[in-house]
Amino acid sequence: MGSYLTAFLVGGLICALAQLLFDLTTLTPAHVLTLFVIIGGVLSGVGLYEPLVKFAGAGATVPITSFGHQLVQGALRELETHGPIGVLAGIFDLSSAGITAAIIFGFVVSLIFNPKG
Partner 1 sequence: MSPSKDKQKVKKQQALQQEFQSIAKRQKPKPPLLRNVCVAYAVGGLICVIGQAISKFYTTLGFSAEDAGSPTVATLILIAAVLTGLGIYDVIGQFAGAGAAVPVTGFANSVVSAALEFKREGLVLGVGAKMFSLAGPVLVYGTVTAFVVGIIKACLR
Partner 2 sequence: MARRKCGAQTLVFHSAPKIMSAATVVGPLEGEGPLGTCFDVVYPDQLAGHKSWEACERAMMKEAVSLALSKGGLTAEQVDFLLAGDLLNQIISCNFAARDLGIPFLGLYGACSSFAESLGLAASLVDAGFATHTLAAVSSHYGTSERQYRFPTEYGGQRPPHSQYTVTGSGAALVTSAAQAGKTQAVTHFTIGRVLDLGIKDPYDMGAAMAPAAADTLQRHLLDTGRTPTDYDLILTGDLASVGRNIMLELMDLAGIDIHANYDDCGCRIFDREQQPVFAGGSGCACAAVVTLGSVLKQMHDNDLQRVLVIATGALLSPLTYQQGETIPGVAHAIVLEQIEGGAQTGNG
Distance of CA 63 to the CA centre of its chain: 6
Give the span between the Cα atoms of 28 and 7, in whole angstroms. 26
Give the span between the Cα atoms of 65 and 52, in whole angstroms. 11
Among 16, 24, 47, 117, binds partner 2 (CB under 8 A): 117
Least Å distance, CB 51 to partner 1, is: 14
Binds 26, which of partner 1, partner 2, none (CB < 5 to 8 A, cut-off by type)?
partner 2
Give the span between the Cα atoms of 1 and 23, in whole angstroms. 32
Letters for 12-51 (x = contact with partner 1 by CB under 8 A, - = none) are: xxxxx-xxxxxxx----xxxxxx-xxx-xxx-xx------
Which residues bind to partner 2, rule: CB under 8 A?
22, 26, 29, 114-117
